[in-house]
Amino acid sequence: MPIFAPRQYAFSAHSSSGSTNLNASDKVAFNELTNSFGSTSGWDNREGGFDTTNHKYVAPVTGLYYFCVHMYFHSNNSGNVCAIVPRINNSQLHNGNDTIFFFAVTYIGGDYATGGGLYLELTSGDDLTVHKRTGNSGTNRYYGAHSHFQGHFIG
C-alpha cells in the first residue's frame, strides 16, 4: 500500500530591498521567495500561500502554523524600540494584556540581526503580515536582503 505524504504548506520569503526605514505601523515588504539553496523542488512556497505582491501569507487551510521572522538592523537606530508584530487580517494581535511580538529590539551597538517565532492558529483565507508595532516612535533601519519571513503548517 502506498504511503501518501500530507500536504506540506511552507514558505520562505525575504525582501529585495536594501537599507530601508521602518516607521510605526509600516508593513515589512517581504516581496521575494527565497531560493531553495539551489533546489528546483520549489519548497520555498510549497503548496502556495505566499503573496509577494502584497507581502503576506494567506492560509490555505485552517489549523496551527509556526512562523518566524529574522531581521538585520543597522546601528543608527539609536534608542528607538522596534517591536515586530504579526497582523492577522490587518489586526495587530493582543493576548489580553499587551500586543504579541515576534521580537522587540533597541540599539545595542553596531549592526545586528535578531528574530523570533510564534505558533498561530489561522482560518483558511486569513492573511498574515509583518509590521512594526503601532505606537513605536522613531525610525528603525533594516537591511531587507538579510531579513526573512518563514512559516509552515503544523496541523
User: pLDDT tens for residues 101-127?
Assistant: 999 887 666 777 889 999 999 999 999
What's this model's pTM, rounded to 2 decimal places? 0.87
Tell me the average pLDDT across 49-68.
93
Report the mean per-residue pLDDT for the chain.
Answer: 85
- How far is Cα 74 from Cα 72, in angstroms, rounded to an integer? 7
Please state which architecture CATH assigns to domain 10-153: Sandwich (2.60)
- 126: nearest Cα among 99, 100, 83, 91: 91
Does the pLDDT value for residue 74 go beyond 90? no
Q: Is the dihedral of CA 96, 99, 102, 103 positive or negative?
A: negative
